[in-house]
A and B are shown apart, each in its own frame.
Chain A
Amino acid sequence: MEALRDAFDFRDFSKTERIVFGLFTLVLLVFPWLGTGSFVKVVAIQFLLFSLFGMGWNTIGGYGGQVELGKAQYVGIGAYTVALTMVWWKIPFWISMPIGVLVAIGYSFIIGYPLFRLKGHYFAIATICTSLVLQDIFINWKLVGAAKGIELPIHGHPDFLYMQFKSDTYYFYFIMALFYTAIFYMNWFRKSKLGYQLRMIKDDEEAAESLGIDARWCKIKAYSIASAFVAVGGGFLAVYNLYIDPYSVMDLDLSIKIALMAMLGGAGSMWGPIIGAAFLVPLDRFLGSWLGGQKGLTGVDFMIYAALIMIVSAYQPRGIWGIIEQFRRK
């Protein structure tokens, strides 16, 4: 009960933040009816999806301060569980997605146990390695479609059980529901015992351990929470795209994007991942469609993207949220 109250209690945010959040919610609710084109709708769905990923990453990467660069493997686990169970046994989405989340949590404990013996750079590179190993296995595993990937059977009619709709509007509201569940969860998480423990570990791990906090166990727990978040998003990706392959759902670039958006927005803050996704997803998409379409300019969009990453990490490592807070203090 208390957890629920914590989750819906936004009183400790400033008035401006609450007003902006309310307006933002309102805009999202009416968004599909604003007469925007289908491209904008796709971008909005991507934005909500990446915010979900980013909030997941934020538990371990932001509050826990662990540089985690292997989240794509959990996107893959979530997506593949949903796709495979649907293709093999026709299991509806509403059952297969929780299974995918459970698989991701189980896998994250197995991986996390040895992984959190490591710290710093060693940890960051090791997370990349685990993700690449899993991707290589899926690329070569014939049973799960190997490099070709899997296509989900397409139902001709809208199907709520399998989450197949013609219009993006339904997908939009569905991902929006997931997004708000994530926000309420994060609002509880940052006030929970684990949340405080993680922040302590981030600041000073030795001091935290001297106070009796089992740092490794806390990190593993946060890691599996992050994995669960990301696996939910992966499951959504499978039914949304109706086609998955190891390159689209398990690539290193995806892991990096997830961590990057959270960091650019401001890791370790409630709104950071959302701001980061709101900034980078449209930038990525619009630059891509604007510059990528013109001949001889392929790659320029990514160069701008990369330059932005360099500038932010060099001048304001605390991200956009850090800049906002700087202004507020003045």
Chain B
Amino acid sequence: MIVIDAILQGILMGLLFALVALGLTIIFGVMDIVNFAHGEFLMIGMYTAYWTSLLLHIDPLITLPASAAVGMLLGMASYYCLVRYLLRGPMIAQLFGTFGLMLFLRYLAQFLFGTDYRIVQKGLLVGKTLSLGPFRFDWTKTAAAMLSLLAFGIVYYLLHHTKLGKALRATALNKEAASYMGIRTERMNALAWAIGGGTVGVAGGLLVNFWYVYPTVGLLFVMIAFASVALGGFGSIQGAFFAGVLIGVIEMLFPIFGHLIGSDFLGPHFKFTVVYFAYFVIVVLKPQGLFGWKR
């Protein structure tokens, strides 16, 4: 019973992980660049939701558009001000460039908001639980999972059933060929960053309902997102979805597994270590991931 409960909780958490990974995988898929600042985008999304709900006295769930808008703007700004120039350099410069962005955003947040741990205290769903038979779920988590599923659906529709999405995927597959077909690849890159920033902003807005926000919150989530993206295959959207959910489940099941064996070394404090370890094993054994689509 406890195992089924953990799996269900893991799926709820995993849906959110998947939404975080979605932006990362789109950006990687379109332009082969790893965005280290992704976790910081999430952090900014969290702060946006937190402050808008606090200052405007509205429910944190309604502030999602604000988080999404801030995320999109941030993504576009990063692309036009920084990433565009990084693309000319070697890979190491790209890595350090986005890493610099990550540090910048992190300490900007620390400068503006301090290092306090903040969480949304009041809200429509905060503190309420949903009972389904023997299982109890936090409403905040359930709503977050549902909404991230919805966001995933929207992005999936956008990419696979609209002309814009087709252009984006064409850019991802072959930039030069796409530009010969009249696709403005520069704009597609910016679009990828806007979608990436927007989705992760939404994820941040959802997360702040039940997770503390502080300036360095991003690292954990960006590592989980890297693991999800690696597991699903870099650039694959379905892959990010299933891998995110799977990692959510692993992260919930692992402490229970350790508890059942009675081993101290498999305790809850290692639940994210397992995620890092999983990344390492996955990329070594199966570099294309479960759903790799390029190469």
Contacts and interface: CB of A to CB of B under 8 A. Distances in A.
Given A117-B284, A126-B284, A314-B89, A302 B230 contact: no
A71 to B, nearest CB: 14
Interface string B121-156: 000000000000000000000000000000000000
Interface in B82-108: 82, 85-86, 89-97, 99-104, 106-108
A308 B90 CA distance: 18
Q: How large is the interface on A (under 10, 10 to 19, 20 to 34, 35 or more residues)?
A: 35 or more
Say what secondary structure dominates the interface of chain A: helix
Nearest to B93: A317
Contacts of B96: 259-260, 263, 309, 312-313
A137 interface: yes
Contacts of B162: none
Contacts of B223: 128-129, 132
Contact of B99 (A136, A299, A309): A309
Interface in A16-38: none
Interface residues of B, number: 46
Contact of A67 (B91, B230, B276): B91
A34 B272 CA distance: 50
Most buried by A among B103, B265, B279: B103
Contact of B107 (A125, A299, A310): A299
Interface in B27-47: 28, 32, 34
A118 B272 CA distance: 22
A306 B85 contact: no
Contacts of B265: 140
A315 B272 CA distance: 36
B40 to A, nearest CB: 11
Interface in B156-213: none
Contact of B104 (A136, A267, A306, A317): A306
Interface of B: 28, 32, 34, 82, 85-86, 89-97, 99-104, 106-108, 110-111, 215, 219, 223, 226-227, 230, 234, 265, 267, 269-270, 272-273, 276-277, 279-280, 283-284, 287
Interface of A: 61, 65, 67, 69, 114-115, 117-118, 120-122, 124-126, 128-130, 132-133, 136-137, 139-140, 252, 256, 259-260, 263, 267, 297-300, 302-303, 305-310, 312-315, 317
Given A122-B230, A129-B279, A140-B269, 11 more contacts: A67-B92, A67-B95, A121-B32, A121-B91, A125-B34, A129-B226, A129-B277, A133-B273, A267-B92, A305-B103, A313-B94
